[in-house]
Structure 1
Amino acid sequence: MNESNSCSVTDVEVNRHVRLTEFALYILIFSFGAIFNALALWVFFCKIKKWTETRVYAINLVFADCFIICILPFMAYLIWNKSVRDELCQFIEAMYFINMVVSIYIVSFISIDRYIAIKYPLKARTCRSPSKAALLCGLLWISVIIGATLRFQKRHAAFCFQKDATIPTAQTLLSIFFVFTLPLATLTFCSIEIIRNLKRQLKTNSLEEKLIQKALYIIYANLIVFLICFLPAYLGILFRFIMEYIGPSCFLIQVMMNFFALTRCIATSNCCLDSVCYYFVTKEFQEAILQPKSSTEKTNQTQSLQINTC
């Protein structure tokens, strides 16, 4: 650890080429994200009239994405103005953290909601409702805001968007588990179970083959997008924890800072990719509503398919 004591996070900074890449990516994400999420808000508030659990979760996800989109210009500005490290910068970092965590957990909530609707269709009628979904989202927002407040009030504003020490802490491992590993495990388990169920339906329900196949594609796409966006960032956090334990040099600290800058951009791009899901959700809802309902069983199956296309 002696080598780490001779070098701190204030001795190094992100490479200029990495900052330029980060700046360009933030501008692109902001441009496309603003358009896609504005369109998503218009669709959910103007085109879809019925309030469902899926709509409640999706709207909360849109709001979380919109908040991140709104602070991207400030984040782009801070890339080239390292001296501007004040309370405003810390507030922007807290907003970014809150909405990113909320976004990750709402994706998990949607997967759980799908799983319950598919696996336990009868119980789902009593344990699922738009009001319960709204309550769950409200509790999530409050919990994350409280957690972020406790986390950031102890930090110095000078270390905005960077770790203030090279000492490994238990908080790092807890962050990896609760913010990434737990939601990923939930999403993976629910997605696998849903895919199995849809494939069984595909063998017995040829009339809705096209709708089921599209639902499968969306489930696969959601899981892949989640992994692509968030896995690099949290693998980097785990790698940083290991390096801090061993004792990093200034070179390793700079490599980690460059890596985090790029993986943060990848994670932020989820704001745009979520909107692609919204498009397919709306399309699938319209197709499902237009399906003829010849029996109660078929109605239940169609409702299950609707849940899976979110």
Structure 2
Amino acid sequence: MNCSNLTSENHAVHLAQTFIYVPVFFTGIILNMLALRVFCCRLTKWTETRIYMTNLAITDCLFLFTLPFKLVYRTDHMDKLCIVLEAAYFINRYMSIFLITVIALDRYIAVRYPLQAKNVRSPLKSALVCGLFWILMISIVCISKYMNDEEDPGICFRSISRRPSVHSFAIVIWGFLIPLIILSFCSIQIIKKLTRKKNVDLHEEKLIQKAIKIILANMTTFIICFLPLHVAYFIQFIEFTDASCAKRKQNDLFLNVAAILANINCCLDAFCYYFVSKEFQEASIDLRTQHQVPENQDTEMV
């Protein structure tokens, strides 16, 4: 069955991408550059939270820089520039997912096991974790792209695997499902721990409620942004062989729309993580008043 003409994006999808990606690009760059300025220049002490947040902001910035190319790069020919840009696009998407998962796991350890956390957590270990993730993601994406491009050059800025294979299935499992399980488990356990606190005053109760709302907002944003995309990948994987051209066209449209939703996450991270952290808020006040933040005010985010 010849369905080769179904892989190209239709005009309506391209218009939607342009309408959404242009404001997302400018808003995301401003917010993430502001976050980087605060985390890299205004704080006096490198903490675990600061290291993870800085890496997340860098990841989101690098991802945002690929969006204009995704809009203008309309060729079906996978030249060298396209290969580099597409690799950066997927590396930073899944690097963002893994960093969000690690932030949740770091929160869980700090809240659930505060005494043991002193031995498990440290800025150096956080930096090593981030470095390991960068090496791992770059290696996996480059190897996957090389193996898939050898079989099928495909279309620029589409899914890493363009045919049903172990690679596309691994994206769903390792790139989303396992991080989702870890994120959900850690978030639920933290909420349980916070709600069980007794003999708290009114101020502390308000802080606990705020922390719970932040955790729920982070988890909800993660699910809304990334679940549809990986459902689309899974549908594409299981229906690739038997689906009719019309069905595959519907799946392809769903994949494009889900990708738009996932790509917005690089802008939403600023609200879900940077601007709700105490470190960022204290440094932002300092940035406005031009007074240096005392070292003892570097606090952890819940």
TM-score by length of 1: 0.85
Distance (whole Å) between structure 1 residues aligned to residue 86 and residue 182 of structure 2: 27
Instruction: Work out whether residues 13 and 254 of structure 1, in 8 Å CA contact, stay in contact via their aligned partners in 2.
Output: no
In structure 2, what residue type is equivalent to 1:76? L
Instruction: Work out whether residues 173 and 238 of structure 1, in 8 Å CA contact, stay in contact via their aligned partners in 2.
Output: yes
- Check if 1:138 corresponds to 2:134: no
Distance (whole Å) between structure 1 residues aligned to residue 154 and residue 164 of structure 2: 20
Aligned to 2:101: 108
Q: Cα gap change, 1:181/1:146 in structure 2, threshold over 3 Å: closer, same or farther?
A: same
Q: Cα gap change, 1:38/1:87 in structure 2, threshold over 3 Å: closer, same or farther?
A: same
- Check if 1:175 corresponds to 2:175: no
1:217 pairs, out of 213, 221, 229, with 213
Distance (whole Å) between structure 1 residues aligned to residue 237 and residue 210 of structure 2: 40
Mapping of 1:39-188 within 5 angstroms? 39-78=34-73, 81-83=74-76, 85-154=78-147, 155=149, 156-162=152-158, 167-188=163-184
In structure 2, what residue type is equivalent to 1:93? E
Distance (whole Å) between structure 2 residues aligned to residue 165 and residue 172 of structure 1: 5
- Check if 1:195 corresponds to 2:191: yes
Instruction: Work out whether residues 14 and 254 of structure 1, in 8 Å CA contact, stay in contact via their aligned partners in 2.
Output: no
**Tell me, what secondary structure is at the counterpart of 2:2?**
coil
- Check if 1:263 corresponds to 2:282: no
Distance (whole Å) between structure 1 residues aligned to residue 261 and residue 154 of structure 2: 24
Tell which deviates more after alignment, 42-51 or 20-29. Answer: 42-51
In structure 2, what residue type is equivalent to 1:307? M
Distance (whole Å) between structure 2 residues aligned to residue 240 and residue 136 of structure 1: 32
1:241 pairs, out of 237, 240, 243, with 237
Deviation at 1:262, TM superposition (A): 1.5
Instruction: Work out whether residues 64 and 103 of structure 1, in 8 Å CA contact, stay in contact via their aligned partners in 2.
Output: yes
Deviation at 1:51, TM superposition (A): 1.1
Distance (whole Å) between structure 2 residues aligned to residue 165 and residue 193 of structure 1: 35
Aligned to 1:279: 275
2:300 pairs, out of 278, 292, 306, with 306
TM-score by length of 2: 0.87
Mapping of 1:17-36 within 5 angstroms? 17-36=12-31
Q: Cα gap change, 1:236/1:83 in structure 2, threshold over 3 Å: closer, same or farther?
A: closer
In structure 1, what residue type is equivalent to 2:107? R
Distance (whole Å) between structure 1 residues aligned to residue 227 and residue 61 of structure 2: 22
Identity %: 38
Number of equivalences: 284
Distance (whole Å) between structure 1 residues aligned to residue 246 and residue 155 of structure 2: 19
Distance (whole Å) between structure 1 residues aligned to residue 278 and residue 127 of structure 2: 20
Instruction: Work out whether residues 176 and 238 of structure 1, in 8 Å CA contact, stay in contact via their aligned partners in 2.
Output: yes
Q: Cα gap change, 1:31/1:84 in structure 2, threshold over 3 Å: closer, same or farther?
A: farther
**Tell me, what secondary structure is at the counterpart of 2:301?**
helix
> Aligned-pair RMSD on alpha carbons?
2.3
Distance (whole Å) between structure 1 residues aligned to residue 112 and residue 21 of structure 2: 40
Instruction: Work out whether residues 285 and 306 of structure 1, in 8 Å CA contact, stay in contact via their aligned partners in 2.
Output: no
